[in-house]
A and B are shown apart, each in its own frame.
Chain A
Amino acid sequence: MVLVGVSWAWATSTPLLGRLSAERRWLNFKNFAGELVPAPVRKSGDWGDALPWAWELLTDEGFLALMTTFGIATAAIILSGTLVLPLLPLASRRLARVDPFGLRAGKTNRAAGLVWKLSGPFVRFAFVLCRSLPEYLIAFLLISLLGLQVWPLVLALAIHNLGILGRLWGEVVENADDSAAMRAYAAGQGRVGVFATTTLPGVFNRFLIYFFYRWETCVKDATVLGMLGLLTLGKLIALSKGFFWDQMLFYVLLGGSVIVLGDLFSMALRRWLR
């Protein structure tokens, strides 16, 4: 099946290389590569000149863009985490039913039974829907509705990650050991109480691990969401594209190094949490 898919993808993608001849392509590429060298270096041939140039780009707009990127990602991931948490008990296969953990919950009416029967699948399907749309697309649509401001980006990231965190955290909850939760329920606590006082503390560290993993991804995505027109690195990259390849490369590398740093940070954090 996979083989069929792959061969279909390749077989029908001709002409893969467009219509340009090989020499032409190589010439293009050489020009392009030349343009990637920082402008002052191109002029003087001295790589020492690159440093002040980079510093100027950084202090001029780069730094501000960097902070915006970080802010958007952080706000978005915290927002979606806050939204997912109360939904988790409603999505859990063990908790969201008339008789949580298979323990009898007393005499209930039909309506309650129906509600609990539907709540799990409904919430889980809502998660699927949320994660099915790429954040870039959501942001694109929201900007046209809400105008060019920061909220659409935050919302887009938050909505998409709502779905993803819902799935990842949901899986953690399903796989968690729930003997303590059962005891608490048998001792008379309600569903939400059980979730908040026994399940959640037990899985908190794993939750945090996923949380930071998604935060990392959000930083990366926030970078490119800027291409829609807000001052993040993505905007700077999109603006300098085509005219100032050297600047573009600088911003790309800046974004990349930030992500590598975030990567290292969350790796250290994960090791600490394990």
Chain B
Amino acid sequence: MKAQAGKYGLKRWVVAGLALAFLCCAWSLGLTPAGLVPPDSQHWDRTGEFFRAALNPALDYEDENVPADAEPIWWKGIKGVFLTLKFAFGAMSLAVPTALVLGFLGSSAWWPEPCGGKTRLILRAVYFISRLFMSLIRSIHELIWALLFLSAMGVSPLAGMIALALPFSGTLGKVFSELIDEEARDAAQALKAIGHGPVQIFLVGILPRAMPNLITYSFYRFECALRSSAVLGFVGIETIGLYIELSHEEFYYREVWTYLYLLIAMIVVVDLWGAGIRRRLHTSTGGCAI
């Protein structure tokens, strides 16, 4: 980089370009400051009500028709939180092993050596095909996968988990393969030199070494999976998202806020937990968020 010419040099142009891009987008989408406030009095009222509800979330159902002996709303919310957690766990438990296999196929650190013409060609092919496959499955959003799967298999938790696991294993696999290939190769080389086979090198030489980063990144993706599984509630899978949508449809804003607070609390807790793990393993998501 020619950063020496002035503190910002080339970077000034990058910033100017981004500003221009923003104006272009805003203009073509018709974004005006006027759009930032509710359009009419009905929406104004609704906004006011919505934010007032934030201050006193429902501790009881707003719906009068709920039978008296139904479970209390906070219990239902907590159940929703656990369903969301469970769903994310299920999806991740599918995604991580798949991603390990894909990451293995999409990395080159374990290739045997010396690696002559034909073997090399096959390995290259495997490498590119698995990378292509990973980028294909992660290029489709989990909600769209969910739509596809729910239509094909009917609404079932398994379909939802697979829908969530597919793009996640694509992303995880890509990052795993890059983490694996970026680790220093000296240990892998040394083990190759004393007769370890490819799979063995991966299992005993490469995996333990990349483990802290893999764990950190998997945990980061677990946080994402939690958010996504909450969203999957909107296509009909029973997570806290479903409860939010149902309450919102009836304009029970105070119930919505109860669920929102629970959801936020869960994600904040998991986030802090992840920060603790990172500190203990001396890793940062920074290195591997890409």
Contact = CB atoms under 8 A, between A and B. Distances in A.
A234 B35 CA distance: 22
Interface of B: 1, 3, 7-8, 11, 14, 18-19, 21-22, 25-26, 28-31, 35-40, 43, 46-47, 50, 85-87, 89-90, 92-93, 135-136, 139-141, 143-144, 147-148, 151-158, 161, 227-228, 230-231, 234, 241, 244-245, 248, 256, 260, 263-264, 267-268, 271-272, 284-286, 289-290
A207 B141 CA distance: 25
A159 interface: no
Given A234-B143, A255-B141, 18 more contacts: A6-B90, A9-B86, A12-B86, A13-B90, A17-B153, A18-B156, A25-B154, A28-B153, A133-B260, A146-B38, A150-B31, A168-B285, A204-B8, A204-B11, A205-B1, A223-B141, A245-B151, A256-B139
B7 A201 contact: yes
A136 B22 CA distance: 22
B50 A136 contact: no
B36 A137 contact: no
Contacts of A201: 3, 7-8, 11
A8 interface: yes
Given A201-B11, A260-B135, A74 B285 contact: no
Contacts of A221: 141
B263 A132 contact: yes
A122 interface: no
B28 to A, nearest CB: 6
A256 B38 contact: no
Interface of A: 5-6, 8-10, 12-13, 15-18, 20, 25, 28-29, 32, 67-68, 70-72, 74-75, 78-79, 81, 128-129, 131-134, 136-137, 140-141, 144-147, 149-151, 154, 167-168, 171-172, 175, 197, 201, 204-205, 208-210, 213, 220-221, 223-224, 227, 234, 237-238, 241-242, 245, 252, 255-257, 259-260, 263, 270, 273
Contact of A171 (B1, B90, B286): B286
A129 B261 CA distance: 11
Contacts of A255: 139-141, 144
A150 B35 contact: yes
Contacts of B144: 223-224, 234, 237, 252, 255
A175 B286 contact: yes
17 contacts: A5-B85, A5-B89, A9-B86, A18-B153, A25-B154, A74-B25, A78-B19, A132-B271, A133-B263, A136-B231, A140-B248, A144-B248, A149-B35, A154-B29, A201-B11, A260-B136, A263-B139
A270 B29 contact: no
Contact of B46 (A137, A144, A172): A144
A17 B50 contact: no
Given A25-B153, A151-B31, A13 B271 contact: no
A257 B157 CA distance: 28
Contacts, number: 191
Main secondary structure of the interface of B (DSSP, over half): helix
B50 A145 contact: yes
A241 B235 CA distance: 12
Nearest to B264: A132
Contact of A28 (B46, B152, B256): B152
B7 to A, nearest CB: 5
B28 A67 contact: yes
A70 B135 CA distance: 19
Contacts of A15: 156
A151 B90 contact: no
A128 B271 contact: yes
Contacts of B161: 13
A208 B161 CA distance: 33
Given A25-B153, A79-B22, A259 B29 contact: no
Contacts of A227: 143
A270 B143 CA distance: 28
B16 to A, nearest CB: 12
Nearest to A18: B156
A133 to B, nearest CB: 7
Given A71-B25, A74-B22, A201-B11, A20 B154 contact: yes
A145 B45 CA distance: 9
A13 B158 contact: yes
A257 B140 CA distance: 9
A156 B256 CA distance: 17
A20 B31 CA distance: 48
4 closest Cβ pairs, A-B complex = A132-B267, A9-B89, A134-B227, A9-B90
B241 A137 contact: yes
A197 B7 contact: yes
A68 B152 CA distance: 29
Nearest to A237: B144
Contact of B93 (A10, A151, A154, A197): A10
